[in-house]
Amino acid sequence: MSGRELTLLCEGSIELVGRIPRSSNETFLVEVTGTDGTSYAVYKPEAGERPLPDFEPGLYRRERAAYLLSESLGWGLVPPTVIREEAPLGVGSLQWFIQCDFQEHYFTLFADAPETHRELARIALFDYVSNNTDRKSGHVLRGDDGRVWGIDHGLCFSASFKLRTVIWDFAGEPIPDGLLEDIAPLAEAAPPDVAQLLDVDEVAALQRRVQRLLREGVLPVDRTGMRYPWPLV
């Protein structure tokens, strides 16, 4: 995607279209309009976040951090995501809406679209690095252009290891050298724009997870059989 999307998200006027159903927190489809056109986006206001015992308020910051981490790696897995202070229901994240067939998700892509497996495995690696607590099957999309995306990253980056995901089909497989090279700098430091959205313990935990990946060189394995989100889709 180009800078047009970020400019529109950062500067466009926001109009609520409707609430997105079956979301744990209040999530809205909005229309964003700027000098360069109009597009849909997904708005997650802090005011609509459900209190959680293991995450501080401000999950929208983690949505932004996941996008910045993906961009710093050069992976482009997360749709453009910004923080908007002035929005209809207050501060929150605003993410580019991906046009896709919502009947497709991780399980269907893994079963029916082997050409997506490389990107699905990359998402599995990203989820370990970011400590994703909520990688449901429906949080993996294939855009109308064929590109694979990961969405819904509000429950990432905890200092405690909380990985829960449906993507275990690649467990134990060697991580390609190119991906190890991509993540290697994270073993020493998180990108500054990511680090400023997290606390020091979360940044240190991210570094430790990457150090472990570099030592072991394989995609993580769930030896408990319990690291799944619910619902699965």
Tens digits of per-residue pLDDT, 10-19? Answer: 999 999 999 9
Res 129 pLDDT > 80: yes
Phi, psi of 32 (to 5 degrees): -110, 130
pLDDT higher than 90, residue 85: yes
Structure confidence at residue 24 (pLDDT): 87
pTM score, whole prediction: 0.97
Domains, in order of start, for the chain: 3-216 (1.10.510)
How far apart are alpha carbons 20 and 27 in whole angstroms?
6
CA separation, residue 191 to residues 7, 215, 218 (Å): 22, 21, 23
Reported confidence tier of residue 2, pLDDT bands at 50, 70, 90? low
* Residue 1 pLDDT: 67
Tell me how far apart the alpha carbons of residues 106 and 104 are, in angstroms, rounded to a whole number: 7
DSSP lists the bridge partners of residue 13 as: 33
What is the mean predicted confidence (pLDDT) over 79-106?
Answer: 98
Confidence band for 22, pLDDT divided at 50, 70 and 90: confident
